[in-house]
Structure 1
Amino acid sequence: MLDRPRQLALLVATVAVLVPCMATRAADLELLVSSRQVYVGVPFQIQLVITNAREYEMRRHLGIEGLRQLRPPQASTRTLTINRRTTHTVTLTYEVIADAEGEISIPAITMILDGQEQSTAPARIVAGEIPRGPADATQLFLEVRSAHDTYFLGQTIELTLEIWLLPYHDDQHVVRFNHQAMFEQIGIRISQWGVFAGTLDEVQVQEILHKDAEGVQRAYFVYTTKRTISPHQAGSIAFDDIRVIVDYPTRIRRARSIFGGRYETAASRKIAATVNRAPIVVEKPPAEGRPPSFAGAVGTFDFTVTAKPREVAVGDPITLTLVIVDRSALPTDLALLKPPPLATDTTLTQDFRVSGDPPAGLVDGSRKTFTQSIRAMNAEVAAVPAIPFSYFDPKTRRYVTVSAAPISLRVHPAATLNDAQIVGGDGTSQQALTELDEVAGGILANYTGADLLLSSHAFAFTWGNGLALAIGPLAFGVVAAGRHRVRRVRSDGGHARRRRARREALRRLAQASESPDHEANLAAAAVSEYVADRCNLPAGALTTTEVLERLAAGGVAAEVLADVETLLADCEQHRYAGAMGGKANSIAERARRCLDRLERERLR
């Protein structure tokens, strides 16, 4: 037994240990904004920080007036224990964007934490345009080019966007960013591309000399992308919704990594540019001189017609096949092309009935095929008349009508029935061609006898019988295995990512082989995304250091790790300094070998 003083001391020590651990702090909700000064069109983050809440209701949309939420929130958790006090934090990160200048009020945001309402304090932010310095117009400007300023409705328009970007120079380190490094400074995701949205995967680049606003000759990287459009209505096409944002470097430093000879951006500022050109005008083809057979086709076309069958009776269907071939300089959107209006062609409808609505047609490359049924109304019809097709030629600004050659037919009179051939007529009915033979004994002539009913046949087991019995259990097993696999994939998203990691990486490497200028960058991205997929890490490019740390932690062999490290170093050097000798030409193949070796490693 312990004496009383020692019992009291033990009790005090126990309470000192347990009380901090048992102390319960109330749940708390806090609002954080990445910046109180934001720029129009540039995404920024709003965070809701939930502290010490056992339960909470997910808020998927903020619904703040003046802000546009780009995607559902990303949730992250953290548990921190200090002096035996544990704090559990959940952070919901919302990516939003301001569409107009002005002050934006963020009201108090309410959530249910542990069954009780909690609200954040209101906040205010200011949205403004990206400030333009005197050098911005020299560093970045845009051009949209087209062959003409006026087009006709139905005509294909080819547009070219040119991004003129002045390369960054650093005299201290004697470094000039190459075209690939400068392209990475363009905010593809935060810029507004208008009609060029989705075309940035196919960008061409060249270096061009150009005089700036001060008359100084400078070398620019010009990134171009093309887009063809077919307007569906007359009007104008403006380009004021195109706004390109570039994170232009102002200072660089040697990268703080295990590799030497590489640089990273130490400071930068955002610059933006818009398109300064008049809208393109889209007009309807003129009404003057418009032929009746015109159905909206604009361009240059060939037209042929065939008919089957060519020997029919009056009223039998004849299938006309109308083929329109596009010969325009720019491919026409054949999905919008309509057939000639046969139902209103008087030379055709005076001898034929045109059935049904105008067909939709089938597009095959530069060819569109329509089928239409017609029926001859009398036996005197000798041919399908010449069918006209009209289109408007935008080059000559005139209507052109081409006609298919007439198609000869043989039309017979329709077969008729006399009264004697009609059931119920006054003629005498003919004798039946066939009669049923009467069986002697009538229905009693069936086989009878208990022996027939009780007779049995011996059952012999064969491979066919065994297979028939086994099909059911085998099918059940296959279905059960398939459902188990589906449930596993649905419940474990990382399993699907790991399975397709190598396939996705090889797809990116195939793009690298087709784009020598981007080979090093695509190869590095393929390796880093492969590691992210294998380790089930959040989507997005990993840094070189993170890739190597993750592979080392996963127990990858030192030799494989060294190969990956050398590969990424060469990719980084090529990214900033351009190709070195012939080394870059083998980067994609080296990356493929690294992926094959990593595939055989079992990452822990």
Structure 2
Amino acid sequence: MKKIALYFILIFAVAVAHAQVSFELRAPNAVAQGERFRIEFVLTNAKAQRFTPPTITGVDVLAGPITSTGTNIEIVNGNRKDYSTVTYTYTVQALDDAKKIAIGASSVTTEDGKNYSTKASQIDVLAAQNQGNAQQRRQSGTVDKDAVQLRMSVNKSSVYKGEAVVATLRLYTQVGISGFESVKMPAFNGFWKQELTMDNQRPTRENLDGKLYESQVVSQWLIYPQRTGTLEIEQTDVTALVQVVTQASGSSMFDMFFDSGRVETVKRKLTTAPVKITVKDLPAPQPLGFSGAVGKFTMSASITTNEISANSGGSINVELKGVGDFPLIDNPVIEFPNGFEKYEIKQSEQITNSAGGTSGTRKWEFPFIARAEGDYTIPAVEFVYFDPSTGKYNTIKSDEFSVKVLRDNSAGANSAAIVSGVTKEDLKMLGEDVRFIYTGKPNFTKKDNFFLWSVTFFIAFALIILVFFGMLVLLKQQIKNRSDVARTKTKKANSTAIRRLKKAKSYMTVGANEKFFEEMLRALWGYMGDKLTIQVSDLSKERLRDEFERRGVNGEQGEEFLSLIGECELAQYSPAGSVDMSKVYEEALDLIGKLEIRKS
């Protein structure tokens, strides 16, 4: 029992030793004059021995520093992460005449004698909002046009082709929001995109155009431009469901104390401005061996053995590390000498997408078998990439590989021998070049009795001609059908929708609400796109309503279909359980069935 306890203590000690220690400042980016808020200094994965407080100007310190400790557990995708924290908290109030709050550098000394520090920082202080106007809006139930804003931003506006850009869609709000509908994200035409996870994103307070907002990242993408010139990120369209609490305008004491008001939902359409990015072409001339890799990389290459027997295998292992356009990188090329037989390349990778770019490691294994003995040299492995930070091409080159292939002594006397010093194309199997005399019954052919020009020959020829023309007719018909894309899509619309609905049902069974409604929207929009032969990206509720009227679709069925789409869009951003998934699923099946009956 003591051994087991000692074992777990040792594991814990090793885990703590390898945990990453950090010391950071946590504070809002902007506050209002006279507002109370907290400033925190957080030490992670270490025990503090001494804390050196910062100088803070522009505030009244109401309390602090107050020390607190905690242990946290995070489980992401089945991976558990334990970490401890020591937090020093100040409760402060911004001065009424302050414009900036300056927070000086702070430091902490841990028990192992190491020092960690934070950098000096500033907080914007904005004038307090006019309470009279806020009370007037509360009574009227209106929302200022700039109370909710949606903005798309990029971290770079001028890049090289293939250089990573981070696009961030951020929501700024001064009021409560219950959900969204009619969400239309940009298509990022001309870019290769990868959406980033938003697990650790927390709301912040920011100064936007001189006003204080609660800011939240809605979506974030890592995009790589694939064309040169001026590329544009299309506008994002979203309808926000803003919650407004209205209050009666009565002035009696009962109104003041007992009228808590009522909540109304106001729809506010939000649209981002298009964002333009200038994409420069890579410098010319491009070096030999460049295949489009852009970023910063290091490479290493090794061979499993430098001495093997003939007919034995080995491999060359190549490892690429760095930050760049990993998804677009081609395999390296290795030219093996004659006498080597190469096989399919094996690839593995550990890649992470973040706001810092696509980073990680990719490994290739090049298996081979040496067939003939001798001394060989395998050329060096080269990797050429473009570094956008310097604007130059860099070439990474490994050493050449010397391989000595020995005679295969494992072959038996009755085995086929390998001739030394020849390539695999020249290998001969000895003992098979002389044939034995055939002793079976011979099959003689009568003189002048040939298949050519016989009755059987003409029958076979006629059959071949008939089959040829039949195949030609079928091929032309098939080409005609495939060229009619609209007809093909219309025929397959129902089966495609049913397949997507089945996938949505599987999400419903496991209770995955968000994925269920996402798949339902794909099924409904995709069905109408295929039926009407219109790209899904070009569809909207207004266009569907016009198409229904133009094509004579039953008005009630059309409105039911549009209502079902709106219900699914709203459910994506509503609390779990607010919409009955089984009811939505059955309505979708029923509506598609009715529309199919009408078409037939």
TM range (shorter): 0.3 to 0.5
TM-score computed with the length of structure 2 as normaliser? 0.40
Report which of the two structures shows the higher radius of gyration computed on alpha carbons.
Answer: 1
TM-score computed with the length of structure 1 as normaliser? 0.40
